[in-house]
Structure 1
């Protein structure tokens, strides 16, 4: 049953760990308006909500609002506590966060989305919700109603990977690479699952399609580079392009990004330089491109110097 069909806030029991707080329980939160926010660390949609969550935490903490983040992992590697801890530090998150590795809180809320926001009044009743990005003024006004105050809305502006998407020019959807959810994979000569195979890049990539070059293994959640100097490419139209990466190798892996066969120059993302050089040193989302100038269809290619790179999903903004 979805939480919106319930009278009161479900239990927060079942978290495997808490950050920034001792374990919190629903019954102890009575008397305080509560915002519960589900997230997972590689989700670009969640990253773009963070300026608002941080602003609300600072602006309304002294008024009695309690914000609780619930990290429920999407990919297997996101179960790692060290990855969550680094994400909290990188995003400046100081409000309480429950690590929901067993999906107990997710299931208690009947949740299905990253990100998802639930607003709960002082009596413990769920009063509003928001799935995905957007509707920030509406959510903040509900916060003020629950607190019994009325004031100007808090300014919030995302920078870098947290910047709002260029929705007017975004034409390419999120693209998963593991075989359980992938689409639009171009592989001349065919492909195999769970077995290393040499792939060749097609002469031309169709819009919103992706391809591999070099020896890769296509696994359930990701593709794994088995030999050095392998690449992955996609044809996209968006201001920003990101890639969720992890590594099987013990050492960081250097990579190079090209746009239409050339270094990105001023269109480089926050995780590469103008020459397209980057370093895979953490398991997270990497911003590879922020287009400088007119947004149009482009071909992005990432080449890794060493084996062991794991690529999970392209996302765009």
Structure 2
């Protein structure tokens, strides 16, 4: 959303550029003429010309961003060049002079002429004169999108940019000469804004080059948009869809396969399209690597792939991130390797595939038949026997008669052990200010400012609290001192906590349960004395009670500042 707003404002600013001023008098001169034969052709010519130049700019940005690590540096160089053009307009003159001269000649040819042809020609001239001014800002936006892997949103960025410019031009046509005079007076301010933007972009280039951008992204996540959508859905009574398709009879046709639009990268595979999957039975598995429900479901998906791949069965793991750190390719690659995933994984950082399926759950399984139709879905954990039965049914429809025996079940690691939901009385709890519940420290939730918190005298079931200096941020909380703690009274077999380190360096911690070392109740990420280390941003299993679910009070204390704490989950 922020990028779209910046693109829109960039379009508004470019209309104030010097090279547009010679054309505006001709635009105003046609303001009192019929719109269909004068205004509309002018705007059409301008839009077509601008689109052609913008497409070339977008192509350059996408090409640079698509070349992985080398392309990243090329894109950073392009961003620096665009920023310098904003800071020093004279640098752009040699590159844009041919377009400006051509535009001036076309503008001169339309002087005194009327009609559709003349207006269209003037629109082309306007587009040519505008495009050099748009170049630096537009190129900056699109190349920045390429660096971050947002190429799927290029069309939307162009639309936002053009809408900003159209807003200014429409105001110019409506208000006429008064706005023209005001634009001249504000030209200096407009140029100062552009130079300030150029300086900020150079700072951004340095930030990205030093690898600091992933930390700055920690407060930005497409999951925030998902939560807003989910709240709206609940308000409208739309949040209780059928979780599993009935497989007692022939599988129904639920819709057409929407394809895999706009992935920002692939793991374990070259890019795949719907055409590549023709005549295959396909399982699309939506997951994200710090989601405990996904961690427990992945082994079953893995076993189905291993069992039926030779029969024409394809699995596409669509990794749609909930938290911002899950957008980092290196993190997903590491998680994919740890989960022993060998099937293709599409990185869905823009949530474009998620939205194409109108999905709202992690994990979510969609089965596509050999004719490209959705025939089955399941949301959440469980139902594995039904899902495998549906896979076999669709493979049989596709002509695979001898499928052999069903799978024996996956080989589960310690972190993948299935939950005992009948005994779990604690639910996922977020530690960021946007979604936190049951926070029991006396001061309550105070967002955006470091505060000193204390543990209350006691915690009721499912209450939690901070001790020490913490800052509530949107999707997480960040420790601001050493020896700070988090406490939670829970009832479950397992307790997991999504943790990270703000500076990327390891942070040691100590866990106690009911005030004692965990002993045999230690999770896989700590030892029996309760000691563990945050080494990467992920889900840490901190409690695993062999005796099953019990009500306990969990406490964790950290050795130094900079802990990022996201969410508790249970099993």
TM-score by length of 2: 0.54
Q: Any idea what SS the aligned residue of 1:194 has?
A: coil
Q: Does 1:18 align with 2:266?
A: yes
2:487: which partner in 1?
A: 233
Shift of 1:203: 1.1
Taking the TM superposition and a 5 Å limit, the aligned residue runs for 1:199-278 are 199-278=453-532
CA RMSD of the aligned region, Å?
A: 1.4
Taking the TM superposition and a 5 Å limit, the aligned residue runs for 1:104-123 are 104-123=352-371
Q: Does 1:69 align with 2:317?
A: yes
Q: Please point out which of 36, 61, 68 is paired with 2:284.
A: 36
Q: Any idea what SS the aligned residue of 2:405 has?
A: coil
Matched positions, count: 315
Shift of 1:188: 1.1
Residues 254 and 376 of structure 2 are in contact (CA less than 8 Å); yes or no, is this contact kept in structure 1? no
Shift of 1:6: 6.2
Q: C-alpha offsets along residues 144-192 of structure 1, whole Å, 9 cap, x if unaligned?
A: 1111145432122423111100222111011111111110000113341
1:131: which partner in 2?
A: 379
Q: Does 1:171 align with 2:390?
A: no
Residues 249 and 307 of structure 1 are in contact (CA less than 8 Å); yes or no, is this contact kept in structure 2? no
Shift of 1:294: 4.9
Q: C-alpha offsets along residues 103-135 of structure 1, whole Å, 9 cap, x if unaligned?
A: 111111111110000000000000000000111
Q: How many Å separate the matches in 2 of 1:90 and 1:235? A: 30
Q: Any idea what SS the aligned residue of 1:237 has?
A: strand
Q: Does 1:160 align with 2:414?
A: yes
2:335: which partner in 1?
A: 87
1:194: which partner in 2?
A: 448
Could you tell me which runs of 5 or more consecutive residues in structure 2 were left unpaired when the two chains were aligned.
1-240, 242-251
Q: Any idea what SS the aligned residue of 1:66 has?
A: strand
Q: Which has the higher contact order (CA 8 A, sep 6+)?
A: 1
Q: C-alpha offsets along residues 52-74 of structure 1, whole Å, 9 cap, x if unaligned?
A: 11111110011110000000000
Q: C-alpha offsets along residues 256-278 of structure 1, whole Å, 9 cap, x if unaligned?
A: 10000011000000000000000
Q: Does 1:103 align with 2:356?
A: no
1:306: which partner in 2?
A: 560
Q: How many Å separate the matches in 2 of 1:191 and 1:24? A: 45
Q: How many Å separate the matches in 1 of 2:508 and 2:550? A: 28
Q: 1:300 to 1:125 in 2, by over 3 A?
A: same
Q: Any idea what SS the aligned residue of 2:492 has?
A: coil
Q: Any idea what SS the aligned residue of 1:278 has?
A: strand
Q: Any idea what SS the aligned residue of 1:51 has?
A: helix
Richer in helix (by share): 2
Q: How many Å separate the matches in 1 of 2:444 and 2:420? A: 35
Shift of 1:293: 2.1
Q: C-alpha offsets along residues 72-125 of structure 1, whole Å, 9 cap, x if unaligned?
A: 000111111111011001101110000000111111111111000000000000
Residues 235 and 298 of structure 1 are in contact (CA less than 8 Å); yes or no, is this contact kept in structure 2? yes
Residues 137 and 153 of structure 1 are in contact (CA less than 8 Å); yes or no, is this contact kept in structure 2? no
Tell which deviates more after alignment, 100-109 or 7-16.
7-16
Q: How many Å separate the matches in 1 of 2:496 and 2:377? A: 28
Which one has the largest radius of gyration?
A: 2
Q: Any idea what SS the aligned residue of 1:167 has?
A: coil
1:143: which partner in 2?
A: 391
Runs (4 or more) in structure 1 with deviation over 4 Å come to none
Q: How many Å separate the matches in 1 of 2:290 and 2:504? A: 21
